[in-house]
Structure 1
Amino acid sequence: MRSGELVPAFSAGRTAAPPGVPPRGSLPVVTASLDLTADPVELTAALVDIPSVSGGEKAIADAVEQALRAQAPHLEVVRNGDAVLARTNLGRASRVVLAGHLDTVPINDNLPLTRTGSGADEILHGCGTVDMKSGDAVMLHLAATLAEPRHDLTFVFYDCEEIEAERNGLNRIERELPDWLAGDLAVVCEPSNAAIEAGCQGTMRVEVRTTGTRAHTARAWMGENAIHAAQPVLQRLGEYTPRNPVIDGLQYREGLQAVRISGGVAGNVVPDECVVAVNHRFAPDKSLDDAEAHLREVFDGFEVTVTDGAPGALPGLTAPAAAELVEASASEPVAKLGWTDVARFAARGLPAVNFGPGSPTLAHTKQEHVATAEIRHCADVLTRFLR
């Protein structure tokens, strides 16, 4: 058995699989023996073959916890639900937090892991290869092999990132173990094409509502059609010119899009209500209040209800530790066009970047795959930065 391989163990554990996990019998129940000092590619393969759909992370959290306790005696390790946290306590002048989620979206006939190519062209295929067990593997490898890093290190492997925000493991950790999220720089190892993606966009969802008066369609002149009244809303969206601001030398691209429209009562009734759902992606130089004020200005004259929102994160590349990471990467950072958990760290005052193997465009797809060269590149860059 190679280091990092899985040991099949058909145990009498939980009988019901988490949502999205194939029923018992279609995939073996496994206990995993992880070699954290092995090639991060092999560690990725071992992690991918442990199904861990959101809400079903116990097996992978057990494996990660056991491996860290056995192979990284220089780390303080704690378990929090199905999250595992580890850190050095060397008294360094600064601390870097590395974070990655252990869960995946539901399996889509893409487990167990398969491989194509060879050598530098080898590719790993399967659920979680990109989002984000290759990033987790890099973190675990660093945790075991960097006993004397230049910065103190905190590693956060957390649960339930892929589902509703209130169940995100970082929320629970922030409530129960807030000191474990303190530091001078956060690196979230989400897929970023092995490039540094700094900060992230904010997001806000609103509903723009129009009203009318019901009437029989045979006597439509007696009513007022709320769907027709939404035409100016759609026109404003079609004519909208988004900002493309440059922040810390990085260009962000804002957007404003209708994502759903609903209305109508019956096939013979003039509708008295129409709702256009709109999603605004905004650059991190805007606050949530700024974003809301902007949307109310765009849709002035209409009823606007905010249904959801999350602030962005400024790049923070001028922070000393962030500048060191950029130097170690020997490449130009880019703006993160999307929202990730870097925003949670930024809200706590930490500069935060995304840096991990794999293309974000492949996340959540049946075709999810990652080049092994990117896994090794990310491990090399972070080792140079932290050693």
Structure 2
Amino acid sequence: MAELDLTADPAELTARLVDIPSVSGEEGELAAAVEVALRSLPQLEVVRSGNTVLARTSLGRPSRVVLAGHLDTVPVNANLPLRRVGDELHGLGTVDMKGGDAVMLHVAATVREPRHDLTFVFYDCEEVEAARNGLGRVERELPGWLAGDLAVVCEPSNAVVEAGCQGTMRAELRTAGRRAHTARAWMGVNAIHGLGPALRVLDTYAAREVDIDGCHYREGLQAVRVSGGVSGNVVPDEAVLTVNFRFAPDRSVAAAEEHLRGVFEGYDLTVTDHAAGALPGLSAPAAAELVAAAGGEPVAKLGWTDVARFAALGLPAVNFGPGDPTLAHTREEHVPIAQIHRCAEVLTSFLT
């Protein structure tokens, strides 16, 4: 079994984690190494749930901070083993999100007298369908482990506090027509052509922008798929346009659906998937302390992350971790060593 030195330089610990492959569903080796390392720390209670490892202190502090990070990665894309290029670490998971995991593990081992009680959640299957996400299993089976006053999800954020997250919704617009031979097209009704007005609406759609707790969110509505057609010589009698709506966290899921139905009035619209966003929650005392420790200004999270799961449980939640999120899931994934060090220093300062 791989051994992890949690007191080592967190950049070195990142390199060690990256070289333990952990594609979604195959996190067992890494989870075992994390479990063994955490069990060696006498101040922590440790529990294993599948390939999720949880640890917490019980020091009687008046507040609790939950730090969370997923252990899994997307499939290997010719980007293992880890490579060092100057002051950067290159390889699968350096950004998403073993740099953040390494910071969490380093904090668990080195912050011995925190001002808050701490819970650490290293979970599995974040990169696949939501039903397999380890956080969902913990919420169902061990809900007390997700209680706290602030959640910090150590997803990549360029070492800047990213507050809240957008909500997301996918919907299908269906049009019906009448089949006919294309040689006698006037005898039919082309369902694909019927999508034209909806596509023109999308082409001129003005995205709403809103400031919440000083964070600027910009919404977006895009066509992501068009399907229809029977064969090369038949007028199609059905077409489907799939759209994705990224909405600011001041909209509920119900309000987002109402907005879509207004935008595409007259169309047969079916919502196929949705996830609520998360408000920044920066007015919470612990969140304000983290922002102060990080310096600079927090920014809005443009995208959906598991902070929304914590927000739904009543915890203010932010993203804070090393790495550029635009490099996640790419072959070119890499993280500056300086960002790993900065995140460890900020969290240590915040917690002590």
TM-score by length of 1: 0.91
2:79 — aligned with what?
110
Letter in 1 for 2:335: V
Task: Give the C-alpha shift of residue 273 in structure 1.
Answer: 0.6
Q: Which of residues 78, 91, 95 in structure 1 aligns to 2:47?
A: 78
Alpha-carbon deviations, 1:188-219, whole Å to 9, x = none? 00000010000000000000111100000111
2:130 — aligned with what?
165
C-alpha separation between the residues in 2 aligned to 1:129 and 1:66?
22
C-alpha separation between the residues in 2 aligned to 1:348 and 1:142?
24
2:290 — aligned with what?
325
1:64 — aligned with what?
34
C-alpha separation between the residues in 1 aligned to 2:151 and 2:334?
25
Structure 1 residue matching 2:271: 3-state secondary structure: strand
1:33 — aligned with what?
3
Alpha-carbon deviations, 1:319-364, whole Å to 9, x = none? 0000000010111100000000000000000000000000001000
Letter in 2 for 1:133: K
Within a 5 Å distance, the mapping from 1:203-282 to structure 2 comes to 203-282=168-247
2:269 — aligned with what?
304
Structure 2 residue matching 1:91: 3-state secondary structure: coil
Structure 2 residue matching 1:241: 3-state secondary structure: coil
Task: Give the C-alpha shift of residue 314 in structure 1.
Answer: 0.1
Q: Which of residues 6, 21, 24 in structure 2 aligns to 1:54?
A: 24
Letter in 2 for 1:268: N
1:369 — aligned with what?
334
C-alpha separation between the residues in 2 aligned to 1:383 and 1:176?
30
C-alpha separation between the residues in 2 aligned to 1:68 and 1:315?
31
Task: Give the C-alpha shift of residue 238 in structure 1.
Answer: 0.8
Alpha-carbon deviations, 1:256-277, whole Å to 9, x = none? 0000101100000000011000
Alpha-carbon deviations, 1:36-66, whole Å to 9, x = none? 0010000000000000000000000000000
Structure 2 residue matching 1:85: 3-state secondary structure: strand
C-alpha separation between the residues in 1 aligned to 2:281 and 2:194?
44
C-alpha separation between the residues in 2 aligned to 1:191 and 1:345?
17
Structure 2 residue matching 1:269: 3-state secondary structure: coil
C-alpha separation between the residues in 2 aligned to 1:242 and 1:254?
5
C-alpha separation between the residues in 1 aligned to 2:131 and 2:346?
33
C-alpha separation between the residues in 2 aligned to 1:199 and 1:133?
21
C-alpha separation between the residues in 2 aligned to 1:95 and 1:368?
33
Give yes or no for the alignment of 1:94 onto 2:88: no
Structure 2 residue matching 1:365: 3-state secondary structure: coil
1:137 — aligned with what?
102
C-alpha separation between the residues in 2 aligned to 1:368 and 1:261?
31
C-alpha separation between the residues in 2 aligned to 1:241 and 1:116?
42
Structure 2 residue matching 1:111: 3-state secondary structure: coil
2:314 — aligned with what?
349
Structure 2 residue matching 1:350: 3-state secondary structure: coil
C-alpha separation between the residues in 2 aligned to 1:125 and 1:116?
7
Taking only the aligned residue pairs, the percentage that are identical comes to: 74
Q: Report which structure shows greater RCO (CA 8 Å, sep ≥6).
A: 2
C-alpha separation between the residues in 2 aligned to 1:152 and 1:54?
30
Letter in 2 for 1:44: T
Give yes or no for the alignment of 1:197 onto 2:166: no
Task: Give the C-alpha shift of residue 293 in structure 1.
Answer: 0.4
C-alpha separation between the residues in 1 aligned to 2:318 and 2:325?
15
Give yes or no for the alignment of 1:153 onto 2:118: yes
Structure 2 residue matching 1:245: 3-state secondary structure: strand
1:45 — aligned with what?
15
1:19 — aligned with what?
none
Structure 2 residue matching 1:32: 3-state secondary structure: coil
Structure 1 residue matching 2:218: 3-state secondary structure: coil
Letter in 1 for 2:79: N
Q: Unaligned 5+ residue runs, structure 2?
A: none
Task: Give the C-alpha shift of residue 104 in structure 1.
Answer: 0.2
Letter in 2 for 1:107: V
C-alpha separation between the residues in 1 aligned to 2:295 and 2:276?
29
Q: Runs ≥4 in structure 1, deviation > 4 angstroms?
A: none
Task: Give the C-alpha shift of residue 239 in structure 1.
Answer: 1.3
1:187 — aligned with what?
152
Alpha-carbon deviations, 1:277-298, whole Å to 9, x = none? 0000000000000000000000
Structure 2 residue matching 1:317: 3-state secondary structure: coil
Give the number of equivalent residue pairs. 352
Structure 2 residue matching 1:170: 3-state secondary structure: helix
Give yes or no for the alignment of 1:128 onto 2:93: yes
